[in-house]
């Protein structure tokens, strides 16, 4: 089964760009600032339980995001870290990982050793539900001119909700 995750906040643009239905989407937050600050444990700890469970049971999880220069840092760096870490922790697989064409697997391996016990417990919890031996994790990205324009994101959400039952619409 395919599960769509929109990375907050620029990923919201996927609703209009790819004609997605908000009722069929999930949300995730991979913070580019955390990537810049190399807060790898924080990134893992901040992963949504719904996202982790869907990956563990073998669902195809697609993360959509938009950047002002193409692929956002949350995907070219954060996504790569998440994929590497989950392969190592859940599947005990050593995988090659590239960030901007630079092979970073040895770096990730060392960073994984620094992850605190609480975060490792959270991630390891989902091993008991593994129904796959391959992570079906994918990314879709595009450029945006709406970065930081929260009123634009709100407008996209409101337009997407127009056809939804009244219980899902904002009460303004």
- Count of the separate structural domains present in the chain: 1
Predicted local distance difference test score (pLDDT) of residue 150: 85
User: Can you tell me the mean pLDDT for 19-26?
Assistant: 94
Question: Distance between CA 8 and CA 170 in Å, rounded?
Answer: 19
Query: d(Cα 73, Cα 61) in Å, to the nearest integer?
Result: 19
Does residue 170 have a pLDDT over 70?
no
Instruction: Using alpha carbons, list the distances in angstroms from residue 136 to 1, 11, 13, 30.
Output: 10, 19, 23, 18
First to last CA, the chain: 35
- From the centroid of its chain, how far is CA 122? 17
Looking at the domain assignment, is residue 72 inside a domain?
yes
pLDDT at 136: 98
What pLDDT shows up at residue 171? 46
For residue 167, tell me if it sits in a domain.
no
Indicate whether 166 pLDDT > 80.
no
Asked whether the whole model's pTM tops 0.75, one would answer yes
Q: pLDDT tens digit string along 86-137?
A: 999 999 999 988 888 889 999 999 999 999 999 999 999 999 999 999 999 9
Q: Which domain holds residue 97?
A: 2-142
58-84 confidence digits (pLDDT tens)? 999 999 999 988 889 999 999 999 999
Asked if residue 23 belongs to a domain, the reply is yes
* In a domain? residue 158: no
Give the CA radius of gyration of the chain. Answer: 17
């Amino acid at each position: 089964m395919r599960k769509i995750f929109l990375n907050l906040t620029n990923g919201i643009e996927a609703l209009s760009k790819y004609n997605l239905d908000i009722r069929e989407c999930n949300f995730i937050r991979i913070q580019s600032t955390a990537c810049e600050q190399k807060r790898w444990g924080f990134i893992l700890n901040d992963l949504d339980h719904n996202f982790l469970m869907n990956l563990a049971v073998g669902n195809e999880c697609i993360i959509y995001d938009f950047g002002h220069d193409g692929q956002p840092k949350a995907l070219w760096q954060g996504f790569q870290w998440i994929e590497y870490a989950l392969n190592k922790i859940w599947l005990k697989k050593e995988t090659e990982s590239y960030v901007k064409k630079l092979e970073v697997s040895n770096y990730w391996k060392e960073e994984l050793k620094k992850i605190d016990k609480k975060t490792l417990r959270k991630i390891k919890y989902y091993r008991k539900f593994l129904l796959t031996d391959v992570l079906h994790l994918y990314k879709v990205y595009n450029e945006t001119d709406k970065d930081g324009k929260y009123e634009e994101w709100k407008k996209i959400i409101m337009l997407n909700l127009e056809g939804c039952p009244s219980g899902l619409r904002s009460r303004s």
